[in-house]
Chain A
Amino acid sequence: MEKLVVIGAGMASGRALEHIFEEAPGRFDITLFGAEPRGNYNRLMLSPVLAGEKEYEQIITHDSAWYEANGVHTRFGETVTAIDRQRKIVISRNGETSYDKLIIATGSAPFIIPLPGKDLPGVMAFRDLDDVNAMVAAARRPNAKAVIIGGGLLGLEAAAALRLRGMEVVVLHLTGHVMDRQLDPAAGYLLQRELESRGIKVHCKAQTKAILGQNAVEAVALDDGTVYGADIVIMAAGIRPETRIAVDAGLHVERGIVVNDQMVTSDPDIFALGECVEHEKIVYGLVAPLYDQAKVLAKTLAKNDAAFRPVQTATQLKVTGVSVYSAGDFADAEDREEIVLRDATSGIYKRLVLKDDRVIGAVLYGETGDGPWFFDMIRKGTDTREMRDTLIFGQAYQGGAALDPMAAVAALPDDAEICGCNGVCKGAITGAILSKGLTDLDGVRAHSKASASCGSCTHLVEKLMAITLGDSYNPAAVKPMCPCTEHDHGTVRRLIVAKGLKSIPAVMQELEWKTSCGCAKCRPALNYYLVADWPGEYEDDNQSRFINERVHANIQKDGTYSVVPRMWGGMTNPRELRAIADVADKFAIPAVKVTGGQRIDLLGVKKEDLPGVWADLNAAGMVSGAAYAKGLRTVKTCVGSDWCRFGTQDSTGLGIRIEKFMWGAWTPAKLKLAVSGCPRNCAEATCKDIGVICVDSGYDIHFAGAAGLDIKPTELLGHANSEDEALEIITALTQMYREQGHYLERIYKWARRVGVDTIKAAIIEDLDKRRHYAERFAYSQQFAQVDPWEERVNGKDAHEFAAMAEFGLPVAAE
């Protein structure tokens, strides 16, 4: 009998042995080495074991009776430390074992991030039963805390399991959403929300800095300064093929041990399979392909023809009560189309990616029953043209007549409930439409209350209107924000607040966006709405901002930038002027101009020079003038009572005070103010977004002027008796505009839309309302008044200002 030695008693080798006994019974004398002190078991099921849903005994795949019956010599708890290919032996603790044929099935090893403190007791991986036992023991301690580094499949299964065992769990994840390798941001958002509802803290974009502790783990520190207490830290940041003995033996190893289609390594007597191998540059991390490899390897050993070919894989998360499915390639590209179905009420998200009418990728959340059906189509390359309209609804909708959503609504009985929030049935809605002669959605909302709360039944209400009104219903009266959504700006703003939506993926999911990642129109708008509505909570998404707001300078037609420092109220001094002159010299800035906003513009700055320019301006006490921002720009002033013979009040001082209080605020569109010391109005206050005209008795506050694309004088809002009162009125007005304005809607357009009287009623007549608006403004300023230049001088977004790589002219070969 030929001697066959197998290194590694894992999932792949277990399956291979079964096939070998089928293909070549009695042909080999087999010795099975395993580093773990136990035989083959179902590693996948470690998650349910950790969760307490299964016992170890239930996941054993091969027991001692099986090894005995098949004559396998088991050497468990014995690591193979070397292979001597010349002498055809393997070396382990108990000496040498010779082979005719050798199988390497060493799987992979968890990747331990080289962090300070990684060797402290309490830092563990999640790979084998010993790890599970250690975690279970730690979870028994009262108030035990776990920090999991890595929000991938393994990390999340560990998180859910440890939470079930009562631990306080924090998941740290490097990128913007969990399971980013398998899920798109929309599904990642839903998953995160589900985990959070179970009491798991998920911290995305987390850069772990160090694991802290004296004699054992005590905490984990992040780059952003956050520190999480921890009794155990689980490294679930990835795996590396376990190839050490193969490398030492001189086999061809790249990322994994290189094998051909027959699972033969660079040595014809040595075979390999499982996570330790690389086939056609692919290393697998899921079992399905490994089972195919096991089949092929057995045939090769039995001298039968077989070939392993690259396969697609599908992933499912094994957390009880969570359904996530992902398969194939779900990235965007021009030659691809996507079909997205979102059902916000039941938390469902489905996305299919098609190319040439064939499904090539699928991400399913909430309802994954059709996953295998889609996966099958991916593998077979099924032509989907015939079922295109109903494809996303799944297998159950195929074959019969295509389901017409309009007909479905028409067929509903009159007592069918349409609006769950307000308990409005179909009959009540159609009744209101007919009896009140309603023709638009707002009217239906006002009279029937349907779709007036969360809005998630809006599409049903709209269909009812179409059915009831026929051609006279014009849904186009709603002007969608952009082609990614049916909703207009107002609806989106309202629902963000009503539903407590606090991230862009949350908005896109709950409001049923039609694209997975939005566009250049909706993303900046959503980012502003979230910044304005959730101060201190929402983390600004830089990548959703236009370049000017991302790099805090104005892009010019030649790709250079202009830099405008603040000059509070238009005042400056020799020190600032000298610093500006010096910086212009030092960085060879080609143009220096006085702007129409009473300050100085440095034009033609190279992008890579921006941090240097800012550092010098900062050093002279200047901050960004936000000349690029949909936010507070300038507060122009005149010389006022300080110097002017007509000046009634300190217009310069008030302007500076306003600018110092309001700088940094983001607004729907740019916001420009001015304060003039008398009605001669030298600061041009009566064509500004907000303007103050000082008079003997105090301050007249004007607003809603325009002097750009449109020219329009301001309206008088009201009168203030003191600077304090003027400031309260101005900030309250600004806050009302911040909360109600549509993105890119200047204050005069907003006022036209909501009515000057409505604004006067809230800001001038209702003192309580005014105070509340002003308080909300002041609160949000706490988070807004950070000089973006200083942050970047100190290293924030450094990637923006440096090339990724530089290549010189190729040097001629010598």
Chain B
Amino acid sequence: MTDWIDIGAINAIPQRGARCVNTPNGKIAIFRTADDQVFAMDNRCPHKGGPLSEGIVHGASVTCPLHNWVFDLSTGTAQGADEGQVRTYPVQVMDGRILIAPDVLMEVAAE
């Protein structure tokens, strides 16, 4: 298996914030929580396409900036009464660097 791909330092994302990784087929949002967990998911809200990376991060959830749907960062599932699912991607943090699963970028590209 190829190595995981280094997409940047964890400190490049503010705590309780997010940034995007651009891929040929769209943006992947990378989230960092208050306790330095890192998650990755499509930067597209299943409701009306809101950019999830621009939402407010609280706990391990994000609130979409357009109409306030709330998504769990680890599973990508909409919370509460709303129904929807965002695709998530495996990421890990090693030595302060964020690594994304190698196949992810290929898959996104292949879609």
Contact = CB atoms under 8 A, between A and B. Distances in A.
Contacts of B73: 333-334
Contacts of B56: 520, 523-524, 543-547
A307 interface: no
Interface of A: 174-176, 180-181, 184-185, 255, 330-336, 515-520, 523-524, 542-547, 550-551, 555, 557-559, 799, 803-810
Given A332-B33, A807-B22, A543 B17 contact: yes
B20 interface: yes
Closest 10 CB pairs of A and B: A334-B72, A520-B63, A332-B60, A543-B16, A547-B54, A332-B59, A804-B19, A520-B56, A805-B7, A547-B65
Contact of A558 (B21, B49, B65, B95): B49
A334 B75 contact: yes
B12 A799 contact: yes
A810 B49 contact: no
Interface residues of B, number: 48
Contacts of A545: 56
B39 to A, nearest CB: 9
Nearest to A541: B16
Interface of B: 7-8, 11-17, 19-24, 27, 30, 33-37, 48-51, 54-61, 63, 65-66, 68, 70, 72-75, 77, 95, 105-106, 109
B22 A255 contact: no
A134 B74 CA distance: 48
20 contacts: A176-B34, A180-B36, A331-B33, A331-B36, A332-B35, A517-B33, A519-B58, A520-B55, A520-B56, A543-B14, A546-B56, A547-B54, A547-B55, A555-B54, A555-B65, A804-B30, A806-B21, A807-B22, A807-B105, A810-B106
Contacts of A799: 12-14, 17, 19
A113 to B, nearest CB: 13
A175 B15 CA distance: 8
Contacts of B65: 546-547, 555
A176 B15 contact: yes
Contacts of B66: 555, 557
B87 to A, nearest CB: 15
Contacts of A519: 58-59, 61, 63
Given A184-B35, A331-B35, A516 B24 contact: no
Contacts of B33: 331-332, 517
Contacts of A333: 37, 60, 72-74
A176 B8 CA distance: 20
A196 B95 CA distance: 31
B37 to A, nearest CB: 4
B93 to A, nearest CB: 11
Contact of B49 (A336, A543, A559, A807): A559
A550 B12 CA distance: 17
A803 B29 CA distance: 10
B55 to A, nearest CB: 7
Given A523-B58, A809-B109, A804 B7 contact: yes
Contacts of B17: 543, 799
